[in-house]
Amino acid sequence: MAALDVGWADPARLYGSARRARLLLDQARAEVAEILGARPDELSFTPSGTQAVHLGVLGALAGRKRAGRHLVASAVEHSSVLHAAGVHERDGGTVETVGVERTGRVSPADFAAAVAQPGTAVACLQTANHEVGTLQPIAEAAEACRAAGVPLFVDAAQSAGRLPIPPGWSILAASAHKWGGPAGVGVLAIRKGVRWRSPYPEDERESRRVPGFENVPAVVAAAAALRARVAEAATESARLSALIERIRHEVPRLVPDVEVIGDPVERLPHLVTFSCLYVEGEALLTELDKAGFAVSSGSSCTASTLRPSHVLEAMGVLTHGNVRVSLPRGVSAEDVDRFLTVLPDIVRRIRQSLGVH
């Protein structure tokens, strides 16, 4: 709120209030850069995490046009990465998606082999998967990219603020609302010396990387939220991770015919996904919502496209009856207990209505 009073002015101008806005913006930049392991001049703010991904991927491809037109990405990247890849493909480029293991983790050897192909311009890998929480082998991927001379784009939206950013990235994207900041702030960091050219018309904003008037109050709030999240991360992440472990352990015990999905150990602290056999994802979501639980699903009946999630498909796991539980900061053990209490009966009733005994 204080940021709205002092940060409203245009940081590109020279009058007093504008200079104050510029100071706030650069201070926020320095703070966020330090936490994410970047230099302040490497980091720009964008109007969303999605736009940071689009700018990161397409700008890296534009900067590497002469090296090649081949893009490598894991099959379980966020849709913003896959959409950017789709634009690249329509533009005459080629895309290879690297498959994943049953846990959703990309095999470092497969990723390295794909990156080493001649003509590879850019490689993309997320720090953690947004649907199943599995952490990706960023260090190994970065080593393979370094050996092949290929820049690595890392989508850190899921883990920034919760886990340290693994080193080795060339271009990094993140999203403030994922760490508890406001909507409308993304982060794009481009390592010094990495070739990158804006896919958009340029202006003087954000080192010519992101056009348009910066939302200084929201950026200031995003930096404050990241600071707070990181300060509590060690204790809160451990607490949430224990609650997730409880859900992972209890759900298959309480509900018959359930597949808990994703890596049980190498995972995000706050997220778990499971699929219930013979249950419609949409019905499950509706019933859990009535019981006061707002959860997501990768089942096709819950998607506007009527296709199952590309992540679950790539993993080869059950896509129907799918529930994704993302624990918010401060959630209590009692909330998790209540979830575990209502779930078995909800699943039983839905199965009954479908004639399954």
Partner 1 sequence: MWRRKPARETPQEAAATAARPAAPPATALTIDAMGRKCPIPIIMLADQINAVGLGAVVAVLADDPAAFTDIPAWCRLKSHEHVASYELPQGGWSIHVRRNY
How many CB atoms within 10 Å of residue 84?
Answer: 28
CB of 303 to partner 1, least distance (A): 10
Q: Taking CB under 8 A as the rule, which mask of x and - marks residues 312-351 in contact with partner 1?
A: xxxxxxxxxx------------------------------
Rounded to whole angstroms, the Cα distance separating 239 from 310 reads 30
Candidate list 124, 145, 276, 301, residue with the active-site label: 301
Note the helical H segments in 195-297.
216-254, 281-290
Q: Count of residues for the chain?
A: 357
Choose the stretch contacting partner 1; rule: CB under 8 A; options: 34-42, 62-70, 174-182, 301-309: 301-309
Let me know if 124 is a catalytic residue.
no
Distances (CA, A) of 147 to 46, 113, 142: 30, 11, 9
Give the contacts of 43 (CB within 8 A, at least 6 positions apart).
29, 32, 33, 36, 187, 188, 189
Choose the stretch contacting partner 1; rule: CB under 8 A; options: 61-69, 92-100, 176-184, 227-235: 92-100
User: Is 81 a residue that touches partner 1 (CB under 8 A)?
Assistant: no
For partner 1, the closer of residues 9 and 75 by Cβ is 75
Of 118, 117, 187, 115, nearest to 151 (Cα)?
115
Choose the stretch contacting partner 1; rule: CB under 8 A; options: 80-88, 117-125, 172-180, 243-251: 80-88
Give the contacts of 64 (CB within 8 A, at least 6 positions apart).
121, 122, 151, 195
For partner 1, the closer of residues 12 and 301 by Cβ is 301
Q: Which residues are catalytic?
A: 301
Binding site for partner 1 (CB under 8 A): 75, 82, 85-86, 89, 95-102, 107, 110, 257, 259, 277-280, 299-301, 306-308, 310, 312-321, 354-356
